[in-house]
Structure 1
Amino acid sequence: MNIKALAARLDRLESRLAIETLISAYANAFYRLNADLLQQIWHEDSTLDLPGFGAAGSRSDIISMAEQSWRQMPHMHHWMANPLIEIEGDSAVGTVAANCLFHDMEQGPVQVSGLYHDRFERRDSEWRFVYRRFELHYLTPLKEWVPVAGSEHFHASS
Structure 2
Amino acid sequence: MTTRTIEERLDEQESRTAISALVAGYCEGVDHDNLELFMSLWHSDAAYLIPGGRGDFHGTEGIRQSQVVIGKAWSSTKHWTTNHTVAFENPDVATGRSDCFAVCEHHDGKVSLVSATYVDRYERRDGTWRIAERLVKRWFVSEGQDIKLLEPF
Structure 1 counterpart SS, 2:99: strand
Where do 4+ consecutive residues of structure 1 move more than 4 Å?
none
8 A Cα contact 1:107 1:141, kept in partner: no
Q: In 2, Cα distance between the equivalents of 1:78 and 1:93? A: 21
Q: Where does 1:39-58 land on structure 2 (aligned, <5 Å)? A: 39-52=39-52, 53-58=54-59
More displaced stretch, 85-94 vs 103-112? 103-112
TM superposition shift of 1:81: 0.2
**Are residue 38 (structure 1) and residue 42 (structure 2) matched?**
no
Match for residue 77 of structure 1? 78
8 A Cα contact 1:90 1:123, kept in partner: yes
Match for residue 68 of structure 1? 69
TM superposition shift of 1:114: 1.4
Q: In 2, Cα distance between the equivalents of 1:48 and 1:106? A: 27
**Are residue 145 (structure 1) and residue 136 (structure 2) matched?**
no
Q: Where does 1:100-119 land on structure 2 (aligned, <5 Å)? A: 100-105=102-107, 108-119=110-121
Counting matched residue pairs gives 148
Q: In 2, Cα distance between the equivalents of 1:146 and 1:55? A: 33
TM superposition shift of 1:146: 1.7
Q: TM-score, normalised by structure 1?
A: 0.87
Q: TM-score, normalised by structure 2?
A: 0.90
- CA deviations 1:4-53 (Å, max 9, x no partner) are 71100100000000000000000100001111111111000000011232
Match for residue 122 of structure 2? 120
Match for residue 95 of structure 1? 97
- Could you tell me which runs of 5 or more consecutive residues in structure 2 were left unpaired when the two chains were aligned: none
Percentage of identical aligned residues: 25
8 A Cα contact 2:109 2:146, kept in partner: no
Q: In 1, Cα distance between the equivalents of 2:72 and 2:35? A: 13
Q: In 1, Cα distance between the equivalents of 2:69 and 2:142? A: 21
Match for residue 24 of structure 1? 24
